[in-house]
Amino acid sequence: MTEQERRAIEADCERLIKLYVNLNDAQDWHAVAALYTEDARFARPSQPGVFVEGRQAILESFLARPGRAQRHVIANTVVDVEDENHARAFSVIVLFMGDKADDGGLPVQDPKSPLIGTFTDRLVRTDEGWRFAERVGGLDFRP
C-alpha cells in the first residue's frame, strides 16, 4: 500500500466517523444504521459492555430512544490502517444534551451534560464504502 492510499483510507474513515455524529444529531436513525455492516456490534458509551448486534437491531435500538436535543463533538480521531479493507480508529466524544423547548426555541441543557467519553472502532471497506464493523463507546467521567 502506498502512502497516498493509506492517507486516503484514513480520510475516508475519519469522514465516516464525522458523518455518523452529524446524522446522529439530526436523529436520522435509518442513515445512522446504514453506516454499520449487517453483522456489526455497537455498545453505547453509557454501557460499553452491552452490545447490540446487527444493523437491524442497531436501528431498532436508536428508534426506541426517546427524542432529545443533542449535539456531539468528535475530536482527537486517529485512524490506524491495517490493510486496504480494514482499519481501527479511536476518537474522543463530547455530548451536549437537553430537553427540546416547547416553544421551538433553544433547548435547556441537561444538568448531566456534557458527557465526555470515547469511541473505539473497527472499520471495514464494503461494497457500500467504509462501514463500522464494531463501535464501542465508553465514558471518561461519571455524569
Instruction: Please say if the pLDDT value at position 143 is more than 80.
Output: no
Tens digits of residue pLDDT in 55-64: 999 999 999 9
Number of structural domains in the chain: 1
Are the CB atoms for 105 and 141 separated by under 8 Å?
A: no
Q: Residue 27's domain is classified under what CATH number? A: 3.10.450.50
Element (H, E) at 8: helix 3-25
**C-alpha atoms less than 13 angstroms from C-alpha of 36 in its C-beta half-sphere:** 24
Instruction: Check residue 85 and give its pLDDT.
Output: 98
Average pLDDT, integer, range 104-123 = 92
- For 33, the domain range is 3-139
Instruction: Check residue 111 and give its pLDDT.
Output: 87
> Which residues make Cβ contacts (< 8 Å) with residue 129, sequence separation at least 6?
12, 16
Tens digits of residue pLDDT in 62-73: 999 888 899 999
**C-alpha atoms less than 13 angstroms from C-alpha of 3 in its C-beta half-sphere:** 0
pTM of the predicted protein model: 0.93
